[in-house]
Amino acid sequence: MKTKKFDSVKMMREIRDNLSKDFSKLSIKDKIKSLEKEFPGIKPKGRRKHPITTH
């Protein structure tokens, strides 16, 4: 009988799914705090309006 191989892809999918579920339960403010903590160099920017071009 063969020994079962370790399935890293399956494990990573399970971890991703569990993190996604946990993250989706957070409020918007908590999500922003979490992302700012994880990526301190990122600053929120407003949406840029493109200037009207003339032809």
Q: What is the pLDDT of residues 27-50, one digit of tens each?
A: 989 988 888 888 888 776 666 676
Q: Is the pLDDT of residue 55 over 60?
A: no
Contact 34, 26 (CB under 8 A): yes
pLDDT score of 43: 72
13, pLDDT greater than 90: yes
Better-scored residue on pLDDT, 8 or 45: 8
Q: Indicate yes or no: pTM above 0.75.
A: no
Task: Report the chain's mean pLDDT, rounded to a whole number.
Answer: 81
